[in-house]
């Protein structure tokens, strides 16, 4: 595959939202906006009972936001808008009335870890190691910290943030609660996700909606919180330190 896409496919009352951007599923602003839009659309669609979030390809689940766009940021307003991309997706998953299942077939970095943490339930393959690399380029995972800390705890999040150049294993991710189950192959993962999603879709939809509210209790301030965090990152990306680091990637 060589063409980027974000699409929604409905099968047996399950809405499969899939994104792909070669080579490592790093997402530009336009794709993040489309992802947010489709999550909100699926949340309103009465023919969809459960949502699955997955990515295309057989390698990286998501390498975070587009590095090309990161390098191009020239002012704090542009920076804040850039970092709101993942904030909007996380809030869309949080506010969506449908249960969401994350299907993580490969490595997740930065914002990709945030997407996995924002799913209500997440399954992965043994290749789905995780890394929070933001501090190594002078930014920090400010936007995704609330959802990652909520899922794996502040201690594990801090460990990953400080050890910013290390990929943490799928065993670590499962032990800390990011992944509920880990599978040997992508095929096994796909089958398990399909089975679980269709089983959930057969349950009382009102009960699913009410449970979703319980899962996210206490996060009602996140629209404002994640926006504030995006502004912090938007300023830091313009720092002398970060600009020097980013020059290496031009």
Q: Where are the domains of the chain?
A: 5-201
The DSSP code for 114 is H
177 Cβ partners below 8 Å, 6+ apart? 151, 152, 153
Cα(85)–Cα(96) distance, rounded to whole angstroms?
17
Domain 5-201: top CATH class: alpha beta
Q: How many residues does the chain have?
A: 250
Mutual orientation of helices 76-95 and 222-236 as an angle, nearest 10°?
A: 150
Side-chain-side CA neighbours of residue 215 (13 Å): 21
User: For residue 249, which phi and psi values (nearest 5 degrees)?
Assistant: -100, 0
Kindly state the greatest CA–CA separation across the chain.
Answer: 54
pLDDT in tens, 65-117: 998 899 999 999 999 999 999 999 999 999 999 999 999 999 999 999 999 99
CB crowding 34-52: b at 16 or more within 10 Å, else e: bbbebbbebbeeeebbbbb
Structure confidence at residue 1 (pLDDT): 60
Q: Where does the pLDDT of residue 250 fall: very low under 50, low under 70, confident under 90, or very high at 90 and above?
A: low
pLDDT at 243 over 90: no
Cα(78)–Cα(231) distance, rounded to whole angstroms?
9
The DSSP code for 135 is G
* Residue 148 structure tokens: 């990652």
User: For residue 157, which phi and psi values (nearest 5 degrees)?
Assistant: -60, -45
* Residue 28 structure tokens: 């530009």
Q: Show the DSSP H helices in 20-74 as ranges.
A: 29-44, 67-72
Answer left, alpha or beta for residue 242, where phi above 0 means left and psi between -120 and 50 means alpha.
alpha
If DSSP codes are grouped into helix, strand and coil, which group holds residue 86? Answer: helix
What is the residue-averaged pLDDT of the chain?
96
pLDDT at 48 over 70: yes
pLDDT in tens, 200-233: 999 999 999 999 999 999 999 999 999 999 999 9
**Taking the alpha carbons of 237, 239, 240, 241 in that order, is the dihedral positive or negative?**
negative
pLDDT in tens, 159-189: 999 999 999 999 999 999 999 999 999 999 9
Cα(120)–Cα(140) distance, rounded to whole angstroms?
24
């Amino acid at each position: 595959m060589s063409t980027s896409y974000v699409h929604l496919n409905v099968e047996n009352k399950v809405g499969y939202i899939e994104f792909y951007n070669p080579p490592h599923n790093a997402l530009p602003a336009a794709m993040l906006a489309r992802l947010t839009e489709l999550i909100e659309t699926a949340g309103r669609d009465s023919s969809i009972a459960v949502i699955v979030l997955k990515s295309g390809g057989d390698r990286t689940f998501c390498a975070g936001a587009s590095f090309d766009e990161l390098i191009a940021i020239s002012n704090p307003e542009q920076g804040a808008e850039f970092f709101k991309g993942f904030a909007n997706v996380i809030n869309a998953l949080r506010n969506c009335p449908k249960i969401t299942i994350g299907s993580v077939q490969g490595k997740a970095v930065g914002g990709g870890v945030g997407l996995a943490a924002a799913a209500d339930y997440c399954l992965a393959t043994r290749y789905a190691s995780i890394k929070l690399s933001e501090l190594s380029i002078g930014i920090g995972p400010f936007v995704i910290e609330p959802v990652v800390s909520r899922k794996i705890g502040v201690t594990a999040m801090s460990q990953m943030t400080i050890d910013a150049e290390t990929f943490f294993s799928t065993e670590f991710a499962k032990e800390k609660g990011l992944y509920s189950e880990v599978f040997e192959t992508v095929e096994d993962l796909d089958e398990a996700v399909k089975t679980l999603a269709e089983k959930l879709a057969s349950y009382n939809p009102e009960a699913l909606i009410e449970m979703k509210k319980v899962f996210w209790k206490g996060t009602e301030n996140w629209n404002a919180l994640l926006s504030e965090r995006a502004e912090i990152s938007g300023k830091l990306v313009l720092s002398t330190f970060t600009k020097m680091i980013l020059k290496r990637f031009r």
